[in-house]
Amino acid sequence: MIPGPFLVAGAAAPRAFGYSAPQVKNLVRIRTCPALTQSAQRFSFVSMSANSTESSKTDSHWATGGEIPGSGGIHAFTLSGPVPSAIPVLIAVPHGGRAYPRSLLERMRNPGFAALRLEDRYVDLLAADIAAATGASLLIANAPRAMIDLNRAADDIDWDMFGCGAPPDVGSYTPGRRARSGLGLIPRRLPGIGELWKRRHDEQDLAARICDIHEPYHAALDAELTALRDRWGAALLLDLHSMPPLVLRGAQPPPEFVLGDRFGTSCHGGLVGSSFAYFAEMRRGAAHNRPYAGGYVLERHAAPGAGLHALQLEVDRSSYLDSRMTEPGKGFAAIGHLLAGLVRRLAAEVATLGRMRPSSDWAEAAE
């Protein structure tokens, strides 16, 4: 029995829309990924026209991209937001996916418990409420973290998970710290649960996941964040996650939120300071970079000097889920309202940073 609602993907799922993005070489076999055949700029054009739902009443777009292997055509992610953008903020949710192919669940030792532990449970619904309240753009992964972790580099692989071991072209490659801990590109084990899989994976599965999920997701994120920066002069990526309750240390209660900026490298310091001031005003505890400083998403997409700022925000699951940490709880609406206020404050400050940034190649947003 699998506790909680899971979307088990099957053959009856609608076909995904194929779209163009940068051509990449697969890091496993250095093979060309056929889904990614054009420039990154082409993604925005295709998604906003041929593969989006436009509404003259709401002036918004909704686009999909990528495909979850084995799902029968379920899209790897959805991207939505006002047209033109209302604020220079993109909220991304890489760990909220719940579309589990049946074949994936059958390979897991304890799919119910392990999947719940890996997910940022219902943080996608929280993000959707925040985006609706603020006008932020929204990128949500449908692919589950158990299948591929979008907050990891495509080469952060524990090759002992694969039947043939490391391919010869990776040489003396040593897995990164995250992969060694069991939480690399394909999660391997969890504390208290142990090994997640009944048997080893094969390279073709990995190649398909990178090609159809990982690269399209990051291409879409890059295109949307760049478009926001080009309109406003600066843009903020808020990479939204959830965390288990932190352990009480000393007399102070554990923080409900952890802000990560890669130790000052991914975001203008004023945005971090404003975030902590906001949480203090709301009488909510927040920590900085410990135990979560931000992962691959921030490493790849943040470039403060180029007007691309990024923050990772971890939210205590007990603040918005029920006591079992499986369903939205009594605090869900309040946390959404609280974080909407944070997004509004940061949006105003990012817009100010954009106006201050000397540049001749971006159009100033309408007042």
Q: Report the CATH number that the domain containing residue 164 is assigned in CATH.
A: 3.40.630.40
**Is 271 inside any structural domain?**
yes
Domain that holds residue 265: 29-356
Two structure tokens written together for 272:
């971090």
- Measured CA to CA in angstroms, residue 327 lies from 111, 143, 213, 317, 319 at distances of 17, 19, 26, 10, 12
Q: By C-alpha distance, which of 106, 109, 116 is closest to 194?
A: 109
Section 166-181 average pLDDT: 55
Helix (H, G, I), strand (E, B) or coil at 326: coil
pLDDT tens digits, residue range 315-328?
A: 999 999 999 999 99
CA atoms of 111 and 101, how far apart (whole Å): 12
Count the domains in the chain.
1
Instruction: Select the highest-mean-pLDDT range: 153-157, 196-200, 349-353, 360-364.
Output: 349-353
Please state, rounded to an integer, the average pLDDT across all residues of the chain.
Answer: 83
Question: What is this structure's pTM?
Answer: 0.84
Identify the sign of the CA torsion 293, 298, 299, 305: negative
Residue 266 is assigned to a structural domain of this protein: yes
Choose the most confident range, by mean pLDDT, from 166-175, 294-303, 349-358: 294-303
Span 77-133, pLDDT tens digits? 999 999 999 999 999 999 999 999 999 999 999 998 999 999 999 999 999 999 999
Please check the confidence at residue 25 and state whether its pLDDT lies above 50.
Answer: no
The percentage of the chain sitting over the pLDDT mark of 70, rounded to a whole number, equals 76
Q: How confident is the model at residue 2 (pLDDT cuts 50, 70, 90)?
A: very low
Residue at 3 is within a domain: no
Q: Which residue in the block uniquely carries the two structure tokens 């309750």?
A: 245
Residue 113 carries which DSSP code?
Answer: H
Is 197 inside a domain boundary? yes
Question: 10 Å Cβ neighbour count for 45?
Answer: 14
Give buried/exposed letters for 69-107 (b at 16+ CB in 10 A, else e): bbbbebbbbbbbbeeebbbbbbbbbbbbbbbbbeebbeb
Asked if residues 51 and 79 have their Cβ atoms less than 8 Å apart, the reply is: no
Assess if residue 352 is contained within a domain.
Answer: yes
Q: Does residue 9 form part of some domain?
A: no
**Is residue 22, in this structure, part of any structural domain at all?**
no
For residue 11, tell me if it sits in a domain: no
Indicate the pairing of strand 286-288 with strand 257-260.
parallel
